[in-house]
Amino acid sequence: MTQDNTIRLFNDRRIRVLWDDEQEKWFFSIVDVIAVLTESINPSAYWRKLKERLKKEGNESVTNCHALKMIAADGKMRNTDVADTEQILRLIQSIPSPNAEPFKMWLAQVGNERINETADPELAIDRALETYLKKGYSNAWINQRLKSIEVRKELTDEWDNRGVKKGLEYAILTDEITKAWSGHNTREYKRLKSLTKENLRDNMTNLELVLNMLAEATTTEISKEKEPQSFADNQEIARQGGTVAGNARREIEQRTGKKVVTSKNAKGIKEIEE
């Protein structure tokens, strides 16, 4: 089963979604959808009670939802109840909400985007560009961020070729790279920037993004050259790639007298320089 975990925005609210290539359908985090529709402070509790009521009513189409691993608030992959588009539409009928109709239109848009992006991958880039512009990022930062997505994709493709498993093994190798170049593992880095659910790369400065790209691009090139056969080999290569960028970071800090890795994040988007 080939899956693509991602996040979509509905009125600036984050909804975790997953595309399954084999079934060719989207799956949506039910608690995220409920949070949008109800504005509940505890959407998980709301879903538990709603599921009990629907079961009593005999509504198996919604209550027989299964769980898939998605990124939780702590950054780890955890099981969460999901539903496909048809199930979500039925769920909406059970929840009185002023967002019901706009959300139905959003669901249709998400489905249409995937079809169009499969035919023309550049549309995915255009969508990302539009999202970052709406959030208020500078054009210079956006250019770096889109390039970083390309560099990351090349690295994960290389990991796939070397038999690295998505999820935990991806996270371990990413931690190795991040620690080697920044001096912080991913959790420490996010804590420095006071992040919880937010994407770390979305909260890096231009220079942080550049060094992260250097670390990941170098890791990709070393891996292609050395052709690692084991996960331990991939870990060593990840450290080597990160160290190259780490040396660059220390050189920059020595010459400028300033720390490269800082607490600046998306809460101060306006401060990100052009």
For the stretch 171-208, pLDDT in tens is 999 999 999 999 999 989 999 998 876 788 888 988 99
Q: Directed axis angle between helix 30-38 and helix 100-119, to 10°?
A: 140
Q: Is a pLDDT exceeding 50 seen at residue 117?
A: no
Cα separation, 137 vs 271, in Å, equals 9
What is the mean pLDDT of the segment spanning 238-257?
Answer: 97
Q: Tell me what pLDDT residue 207 has.
A: 92
Burial 125-150 (b: 16+ CB within 10 A, else e): eeeebeebeeeebbeebbebbeebee
In the chain, where the domains are located: 3-119, 138-271
From CA 112, how far away is CA 106, in angstroms rounded?
A: 10
Q: What is the pLDDT of residue 137?
A: 81
User: Do 71 and 16 meet the contact criterion of CB atoms below 8 Å apart?
Assistant: yes
- Higher pLDDT residue, 141 or 110? 141
pLDDT band at 116 (very low <50, low <70, confident <90, very high): very low
Provide mean pLDDT across the span 224-250.
96
Position 19 scores a pLDDT of 75
User: Residue 61 has what pLDDT?
Assistant: 63
Distances (CA, A) of 220 to 11, 28, 256: 36, 32, 29
Nearest-CA neighbor of 31 among 42, 19, 44?
44
**pLDDT at residue 146 in the model:** 84
Write the pLDDT tens digit of every residue in 61-109.
666 677 888 877 766 778 888 988 888 888 888 888 888 888 888 887 7
pTM higher than 0.75: no
Strands 13-20 and 3-10: antiparallel
Using 50, 70 and 90 to split pLDDT, how confident is the model at 126? low
